[in-house]
Amino acid sequence: MNMARATDQMLTELNRRLKADLDLSVSAATVLAIIDGAGEPITPGVIAERAIIAAASTTSVLDTLEKRGLVVRRPHPTDRRKLLIELTPTGRNAIDHILPGIHRLEKQIMDALTSEEKRDLIHLMAKVQSGVTKVAEQPAQGLGGPRKVPDRLHRPDPEL
- Give the Cα separation of 64 and 85 in Å (integer): 13
pLDDT digits (tens, 9 = 90+) for 101-123: 999 999 999 999 999 999 999 99
- Give the Cα separation of 29 and 100 in Å (integer): 12
pLDDT digits (tens, 9 = 90+) for 55-100: 889 999 999 999 999 999 999 999 889 999 999 999 999 999 999 9
Residue 160's pLDDT is what?
Answer: 53
Extents of the domains making up the chain: 2-112
- Give the Cα separation of 26 and 13 in Å (integer): 10
Is 2-112 CATH 1.10.10.10?
yes
Predicted TM-score of the model (pTM): 0.77
For residue 139, is it left (φ>0), alpha (ψ between -120 and 50) or beta?
beta
